Chain A
Amino acid sequence: MAATLVIILVFAAIGVFPYFVPSPYILHIGTLIFIWSFITTAWSYMGRFGLVSLGHGAFLGVGAYTTGLLFNYFGFTPWVGMLLGALAAVGLAVVVGYACFRFGVIGDYFALVTLALGEVVALTLIAFRDITGGSLGFTLKSKGTSLFYFQSEEKIHFYYASLGFLVLALLVWKWIDRSKMQKALRAIGEDEIAASTLGMGIIRYKMIITMISAFMTAIGGVLYAQYITYLNPHTLSGVAPSLEIAFKAILGGMFSLWGPAIGTALIISLEEYFRVAYGSTFVGFSQIIYGLALVLLIIFLPKGIYGSLQDFVAKRKKS
Chain B
Amino acid sequence: MTELLLNSIVNGILLGGVLALLAFGMNLIFGVVKIIHLAYGQCVMLGMYVVYTLAVQAQIPVILSCILVLPIMGIVGILLQLLVINPLLKAKANPLTQLLALAGLTIVVENLAQVVWGADLRGINIQLPIISIGSVFVRTSNLIAFFGALLTLWGLYLFLNRTYLGLAIRSIAQDLDSARLMGINPRRIYLITMATGGILTGVIAAFFSPIYAVHPHFGGSFTMMAFIIVVLGGMGNLLGGFIGAFIIGVVTSVSGVLTSTEIADIIVLIIFISVILVRPQGLLGIRVSK
| Proximity bits, A67-93, B CB within 8 Å = 1, else 0 | 000000000000000000000000000
A295 within 8 A of B: yes
Which residues of chain B have a CB within 8 Å of any CB of chain A? 84, 87-88, 91-97, 99-101, 103-108, 110-112, 114-115, 119, 216, 220, 224, 231, 260, 262-263, 265-266, 269-270, 272-273, 276-278, 280
- Given contacts A120-B266, A120-B270, A123-B266, whether A291 and B107 have CB atoms under 8 Å apart is yes
Count of residues in A whose CB is under 8 Å from the partner chain: 39
Q: Is the interface of A mostly helix, strand, loop or mixed?
A: helix
Contact partners of A127 in chain B: CB under 8 A: 260, 262-263, 266
Q: For the complex, give the distance between the alpha carbons of A105 and B277 in Å.
A: 7
Decide if B111 touches A285 in the complex (CB within 8 Å). yes
A287 within 8 A of B: yes
A314 within 8 A of B: no
Give the residue of A111, A250, A299 whose beta carbon is less than 8 angstroms from that of B87: A299
Name 21 interchain pairs, CB-CB below 8 A, sorted by A: A52-B96, A100-B277, A105-B276, A116-B272, A120-B269, A120-B270, A123-B263, A127-B262, A127-B263, A239-B224, A243-B103, A250-B100, A285-B115, A287-B107, A288-B108, A290-B107, A291-B107, A292-B108, A295-B104, A295-B105, A299-B101
Decide if B111 touches A109 in the complex (CB within 8 Å). no
Q: Give how many A-B residue pairs fall within 8 Å (CB-CB).
A: 114
Of B87, B107, B115, B270, most buried by chain A (CB within 10 Å of CB) is B107
Give the residue of A112, A239, A294, A302 whose beta carbon is less than 8 angstroms from that of B276: A112
Decide if B280 touches A298 in the complex (CB within 8 Å). no
Q: For the complex, give the distance between the alpha carbons of A282 and B112 in Å.
A: 10
Q: Is the interface of B mostly helix, strand, loop or mixed?
A: helix
| Proximity bits, A192-228, B CB within 8 Å = 1, else 0 | 0000000000000000000000000000000000000
Contact partners of A285 in chain B: CB under 8 A: 111, 115
Contact partners of A116 in chain B: CB under 8 A: 269, 272-273
- Given contacts A288-B108, A294-B104, whether A103 and B220 have CB atoms under 8 Å apart is no
Decide if B97 touches A99 in the complex (CB within 8 Å). no
Decide if B265 touches A109 in the complex (CB within 8 Å). no
Give the residue of A108, A282, A290, A302 whose beta carbon is less than 8 angstroms from that of B93: A302
| Chain B residue, CB-CB nearest to A111 | B96
Contact partners of A123 in chain B: CB under 8 A: 262-263, 265-266, 269
Q: For the complex, give the distance between the alpha carbons of A123 and B272 in Å.
A: 15
Decide if B107 touches A294 in the complex (CB within 8 Å). yes
Q: For the complex, give the distance between the alpha carbons of A243 and B231 in Å.
A: 20
Give the residue of B91, B103, B266, B280 whose beta carbon is less than 8 angstroms from that of A105: B280
A246 within 8 A of B: yes
Give the residue of A117, A243, A247, A295 whose beta carbon is less than 8 angstroms from that of B84: A295
| Proximity bits, A112-127, B CB within 8 Å = 1, else 0 | 1100110110011011
- From residue A15, how far is it (CB to closest CB) to chain B in Å? 34
Decide if B276 touches A113 in the complex (CB within 8 Å). yes
Decide if B277 touches A126 in the complex (CB within 8 Å). no
Q: For the complex, give the distance between the alpha carbons of A116 and B272 in Å.
A: 8
A148 within 8 A of B: no
A24 within 8 A of B: no
Decide if B273 touches A113 in the complex (CB within 8 Å). yes
A312 within 8 A of B: no
- Given contacts A120-B266, A126-B262, whether A298 and B101 have CB atoms under 8 Å apart is yes
A300 within 8 A of B: yes
Q: For the complex, give the distance between the alpha carbons of A109 and B265 in Å.
A: 20
- Given contacts A123-B266, A126-B262, A302-B92, whether A250 and B276 have CB atoms under 8 Å apart is no
